[in-house]
Amino acid sequence: MGDYPAPLAPADHAEPVPRRVRAVLAGVTVLDTTRAWYVWEWPNYPQYYIPLADVAPGVLVDESHVQQSARGPMEGHALRVGDVHRPRAAKVLRSSSVAGLSATVRFDWAAMDAWYEEDEQVFVHPRNPYTRVDCLRSTRSVRVSLDGVVLAESSSPVMLFETGLPTRYYLNRTDVRFAHLAPTATVSSCPYKGTTTGYWSARGGGPDLAWVYDFPTREVLPIAGLIAFYNERVDLTVDGVQLERPTTHFGRV
> Are residues 98 and 148 both part of a single domain?
no
**72 plus 114 within the same structural domain:** yes
- Report d(CA 161, CA 78) in Å as an integer: 39
The range of the structural domain enclosing residue 237 comes to 133-251
CA atoms of 244 and 222, how far apart (whole Å): 26
Q: Per the domain annotation, does 4 fall within a domain?
A: no
Task: Please count the structural domains in the chain.
Answer: 2
Nearest 5°: phi and psi at 22? -135, 155
Q: Give the length of the chain.
A: 253
Q: What is the structure's pLDDT at 249?
A: 87
Instruction: List the strands of the sheet with 60-67, edge to edge.
Output: 14-16, 37-39, 47-51, 104-107, 84-93, 74-81, 60-67
CATH number at residue 149: 2.170.150.40
| pLDDT score recorded for residue 5 | 46
Give pTM, 2 decimals: 0.84
* Rounded Cα gap, residues 25 and 23, in angstroms: 7
Question: In terms of domains, do 195 and 117 share one?
Answer: no
Of 75, 102, 122, the domain-final residue: 122
Q: What is the full per-residue pLDDT of the chain (253 aa) written as tens digits?
A: 344 444 445 557 899 999 999 999 999 999 999 999 999 998 889 999 999 999 999 999 999 999 999 899 999 999 999 999 999 999 999 999 899 999 999 999 999 999 999 999 999 999 999 999 999 999 999 999 999 999 999 999 999 999 989 999 999 999 999 999 999 999 999 999 999 999 999 999 999 999 999 999 999 999 999 999 999 999 999 999 999 999 888 877 6
DSSP collapsed to 3 states, 221-234? HHHCCCEEECCCCC
Give the C-alpha distances (Å, rounded to integers) separating 172 from 92, 195, 226, 227, 245.
48, 19, 5, 6, 22
Number of H helices, E strands in the chain: 0, 24
* 110 shares a domain with 156: no
Dist CA 74 CA 33 (whole Å): 21
Return the pLDDT at 10.
Answer: 55
Query: Given 97, 122, 147, which residue is the final one in a domain?
Result: 122
Contact 199, 208 (CB under 8 A): yes
Cα gap 67→113, rounded to integer Å: 25
Q: Note whether residue 2 is domain-resident.
A: no
Whether residue 183 lies inside any domain: the answer is yes
